[in-house]
Structure 1
Amino acid sequence: MKQFSLLDLCPIPEGHTPAQAIANTVALAQLAEATGYHRFWMAEHHNMPGVASSATAVLIGHVAGATSTLRVGAGGIMLPNHAPLVVAEQFGTLATLYPDRIDLGLGRAPGTDMATARALRRHMAPEDGFPQDVQELMGYLALPSGEARVRAVPGEGTTVPVWILGSSLYGAQLAAQLGLPYAFASHFAPAMLDQALEVYRRSFRPSSMLSEPYAMVAAGICIADTDEEAAYLRTSQQMGFARLRTGRPGKLPEPVADISEVIPAPVLAQVNAALSCSAVGGPDTARAQLAQIIARTQPDEIMITGMIHDPAARLRSFEMAAEILRDLKQS
């Protein structure tokens, strides 16, 4: 493991406002910078009452302006929702404002329900144009060409690092074919993690962007002083994920003493399986779980994420995670 990083969805806890959620995200980014995280990524979601990162590029600029050395980026922008030129202009502007600090992770999913996807796109293309859109976008960010009739200004020549995100073999194959870094969304869809990493590494073709494969693995974390406290704090994410899976998304709930009384057993089993690539517990327990994930997947980089209702407990969880990951990085 060369680096460790942080993914934040800018969660809106129950009893809090979007403005407070954004302030919490800025505080978390500043803590991440101070404690050794390499990147701080935010993800595009729409029509979700508990997520305040819908205008992802705007929020990236806000966080980048509140930090000084941390790499800040998208994990990711859902490219089917946007014209590649617009994304190139947005991230080219960010890269112009914050040189060598901006990353652009690209996803193929809409990041929302289909009704909202139609509202975003205005029309739905029946064919899958994601590979072509990725290459078009990269062309706008490349060094200037005298033959280009359409140019991204700002954007042209910024060569913002582009990542392919995925939770299946599709993204792994595309990232390998294009010679791009690859990030797997194992924090909520771990089923194909090992197979996707194998496909990506075996099929990788060197490119002008990357000479050898670079794989990032995502993991959930919830760390507290004791295993019991961490399990209690994590119930917020379990409930939030269950509500999303059953079509009732909302703000991040307050934790509960007994999760089995709130979520039916079959649904809870599905939630726990989806969130199984994670480290939950006191420092010793979390360290052992993170070490196991790293040993199994051998990532070039691990990106951690976690939803905790109390902002102070969330900061403390990521602070303790940084201490563990700094030690694991050196070992």
Structure 2
Amino acid sequence: MIHYFWSTSFFRYLLFPLCLLYGCISNILRLSYNLGWRKVWRAPVPIVMVGNLTVGGNGKTPLVIWIVISLQSRGLRVGVVSRGYGGKSKYYPLIIRQDTTAEQAGDEPILIYQRTKAIVVVAPVRKKAVEAICHFSKVDIIITDDGLQHYALARDIEIVVIDGERRFGNGWWLPVGPMRELKSRLQSVDVIVTNGGVALPGELSMKLLPGLAVNLFSGEKKSVKELDNVVAMAGIGFPKRFFNTLYAYGLEPIKTISFPDHKRYCLKNLIRLTGNGQTLLMTEKDAVKVQNFAKENWWYLPVEVKFSRDEAAELLKKIFCLV
């Protein structure tokens, strides 16, 4: 719906004053840190910032998971910082534990923790999250999931993830377009990663490949092609990517249902999505929010980041130079 508004709706032009105001504030904020008018805090360990220029569904969190696991496999101790969108904790910073819920922390921090077992800390002010990691755990490097525009925290490497199919939409700032910052910001980042589509010169090409579908109730795993009578749902920034993945692997869902990113679910509403003999298939990001009340016919499809060997080595080399 929002992508239709940005691309074709005439009414978006009525919001141009707000768009220009957003851009003005964004530029002034960044300039104030660059010129030293506002203080930038530097952490005692290297910071890798993984973010994007547009809102929603670029593949940023899967890339964070890939980076963390890649560094861990090479012997590094890695911490992760997140804003925790969609979560509401009674206190911050919030250190993710085994019993921390998505309602407290947001879906992405829980997903990162479950996949990597790294120390993950959530706080709206990233400095406080970094300080908590350094206080409670000895780490070699910290990865931030989002936060490219959080200029109060100094960073050693900036990695921007681009949706290779949508790219930058109409190129305008919010709310007229999808941009947090304009495309020119790419000139100052260290790494550009393109998720899907065609990578342009100077960009690394990333793909999200599905693994085996996992049953939320039993833990059983099987190929997604073996699932029958599937109703597919996705509450992520760009649900169409999930549905296109299913089609590409030969699965034709009975219906597809899109929800807003970071949406909270309840058992009553999800049960209504399927009838007798039907299977509910969701993203892993959705699964972390419903695992405590999962039913036998609920499955999720995890995805893995894939680079070519040379591009993976190029990205990791830039990060290893910091430690």
Could you tell me the TM-score, scaled by structure 2's length? 0.26
TM-score, length basis structure 1: 0.26
| Structure with the bigger percentage of helix | 1
